[in-house]
A and B are shown apart, each in its own frame.
Chain A
């Protein structure tokens, strides 16, 4: 980790001092332990604020559509790079405006699960070898990193960046679990059980839209929830409005979601979200033979067609 962090800093200093980029997007230590926060680095004097830790959980590709017209260095994990590819496919960014500093990713650690492991407030956290050490006023606990990585990271088949300009460190062995086992388990439930899971989960939704803000593919200038004409969705508290929001946010990811899990991690109400987009991802793969963020050539699947696409469901 330390070594990777140092390499990142050296690389970034070089890029900025040679004037290859105007800004570098990476992470710095957050104001709380177990948190790293996105960091926009413009001045090499700040380069030592950049960190690399198991808590760098945001998908930084999200910011690319928000800072157009600048040359950007992006410190990117496997999933961030897939989002870059997806954004390139949708022609939202220019490849030659971005320098990708790829970092093979060991998986990010689920901070909420770690917090639940201890009584009391965690005041310090760091990684030592394969252990995450957390410390509080009267405890110190060591937890095996591997057991706490996020489900989306366990499923990840592309921890090594698919495209990059420089790669920090060595490539890792890809060792994903079966990608869609949660979707398959959910499909086995009865329709009523599925609906009650969905409606119970979303009943906690406060419509903060953090899931949207965290997602690189939610770049719409005006999101459908913010549109007042047509007004798709009311601001009220009717459960169906909240369900409407969650259905459409997920459905809008058709052919676009890279499964990074950033939406679910951003949700302050800890609502299950990834099982929705994973379902869509599997369908898109099955129906259209497409997986987002893997390939620069094929067009987005909903903007194209094949004459022999599935149509048995049409009378």
Chain B
């Protein structure tokens, strides 16, 4: 594939109470943003098991975005604080291993921040487009089939 035709595939884990609604607002407000993200809705950013992120990378996505409610705004009070600790420790560890800095990115986006959501997606996509296709920690045999198909 020609390099300029290549577009990154980005998986976004969005908290249903904030960033997911923020994405919705971006849509209903007709704000344009790059079409590179595929969204998985989660109940809270604290629900995101680091294994989700690693599995996504291994299955060949070029980047992962994790987005939740601003500090103090979590629907479950502390889910995003707990998630933040998992994120900071995971991020540092992935950097240490030599996985390209920027493959996994994080943001706070509230339900009212449609424009911010669009901006975040743009920044994340740009950064990952610059990194190019993910090559390091990727399954080469191809995607695995689900257990219950």
Which A residues are closer than 8 A to B by beta carbons? 183, 186-187, 189-199, 224, 228-232, 234, 236, 238-241, 243-244, 247-248, 250-251, 254, 276, 279-280, 283-284, 287-288, 301-307, 309-311, 313-315
Q: Does B38 contact A (CB under 8 A)?
A: no
In the complex, per-residue mask of B68-108: 1 if CB is within 8 Å of any chain A CB, else 0: 00010000001001101111111111011111110001111
Residues of B contacting A196 in the complex (Cβ-Cβ under 8 angstroms): 98
Is the beta-carbon distance between A194 and B89 smaller than 8 angstroms?
no
Residue of B nearest to A251 (CB): B93
Kindly identify, within residues 92 to 149 of chain B, every residue whose CB is under 8 Å from any CB belonging to chain A.
92-93, 95-101, 105-108, 120, 123, 136-141, 144, 147-148
Q: Does B1 contact A (CB under 8 A)?
A: no
Residue of B nearest to A224 (CB): B51
Is the beta-carbon distance between A193 and B89 smaller than 8 angstroms?
no
Q: Does B34 contact A (CB under 8 A)?
A: no
Residue of B nearest to A183 (CB): B96
Is the beta-carbon distance between B88 and A310 smaller than 8 angstroms?
yes
Is the beta-carbon distance between A238 and B85 smaller than 8 angstroms?
no
Residues of B contacting A234 in the complex (Cβ-Cβ under 8 angstroms): 139, 141, 144
CB distance from B105 to the nearest CB of A (A): 7
Contact of A247 among B89, B97, B148 (CB under 8 A): B97
Residue of A nearest to B142 (CB): A238
How big is chain B's contact interface, by range? 35 or more
If A248-B54, A315-B106 touch, whether A239 touches B93 (CB-CB below 8 Å) is no
Contact of B84 among A194, A244, A314 (CB under 8 A): A314
Residues of B contacting A247 in the complex (Cβ-Cβ under 8 angstroms): 54, 93, 97, 137
Which B residues are closer than 8 A to A by beta carbons? 50-51, 54-55, 58, 71, 78, 81-82, 84-93, 95-101, 105-108, 120, 123, 136-141, 144, 147-148
If A194-B97, A195-B98, A305-B85 touch, whether A238 touches B106 (CB-CB below 8 Å) is no
Residues of A contacting B89 in the complex (Cβ-Cβ under 8 angstroms): 251, 254, 280, 283-284, 287, 302
Residues of B contacting A193 in the complex (Cβ-Cβ under 8 angstroms): 98
A/B interface sample: 16 pairs, CB < 8 A? A191-B101, A199-B136, A240-B138, A240-B139, A244-B137, A248-B51, A248-B54, A251-B93, A283-B89, A304-B82, A305-B82, A307-B81, A309-B81, A311-B88, A314-B106, A315-B123
Residue of B nearest to A190 (CB): B98
Is the beta-carbon distance between B87 and A314 smaller than 8 angstroms?
yes
> Once bound together, how far apart are the Cα atoms of A301 and B82, in whole Å?
9
Residue of A nearest to B92 (CB): A283
> Once bound together, how far apart are the Cα atoms of A95 and B141, in whole Å?
48
Residues of A contacting B147 in the complex (Cβ-Cβ under 8 angstroms): 228-231
Residues of B contacting A313 in the complex (Cβ-Cβ under 8 angstroms): 87-88, 91, 106
Residue of B nearest to A288 (CB): B85
> Once bound together, how far apart are the Cα atoms of A24 and B136, in whole Å?
47
CB distance from B141 to the nearest CB of A (A): 5
Is the beta-carbon distance between B88 and A309 smaller than 8 angstroms?
yes
Is the beta-carbon distance between A192 and B82 smaller than 8 angstroms?
no
Is the beta-carbon distance between B137 and A243 smaller than 8 angstroms?
yes
11 extra interchain contacts, Cβ-Cβ under 8 A, other than A183-B96, A194-B96, A240-B58? A193-B98, A195-B99, A196-B98, A199-B136, A224-B51, A232-B55, A238-B141, A283-B93, A287-B88, A305-B82, A315-B123
CB distance from A276 to the nearest CB of B (A): 8
CB distance from A188 to the nearest CB of B (A): 11
Contact of A240 among B93, B97, B140 (CB under 8 A): B140
Contact of A198 among B58, B98, B101, B123 (CB under 8 A): B98
Is the beta-carbon distance between A238 and B98 smaller than 8 angstroms?
no
CB distance from B69 to the nearest CB of A (A): 11
